[in-house]
Amino acid sequence: MNKCSKCGTTVQEILETGFVGCEKCYDLPEVQNAVLKMYGGKTHKGE
């Protein structure tokens, strides 16, 4: 399981709670994908 190397928060915890432990958490690929879906999903809506 992927987790932050700085604060130790796991990807699962971040996805479940929606909160990251620190700025390093955003370096995790799965977190980046989740953030893009949450904040960028509205601009590209597939049909």
Please identify, among the stretches 16-24, 30-38, 39-47, the one whose residues bind Zn ion according to the rule CB under 5 A: 16-24
**21 touches Zn ion by CB under 5 A:** yes
Among 24, 30, 34, 35, the residue binding Zn ion under the rule CB under 5 A is 24
Q: Reduce the secondary structure of the chain to three states and give it as a string.
A: CCECCCCCCEHHHHHHHCCCCCHHHHHCHHHHHHHHHHHHCCCCCCC
- Locus of tokens 């700085």: 6
Q: How far is the CB of 29 from Zn ion (least distance, A)?
A: 14
Residues that bind Zn ion in the complex, under the rule CB under 5 A: 4, 6-7, 21-22, 24-25
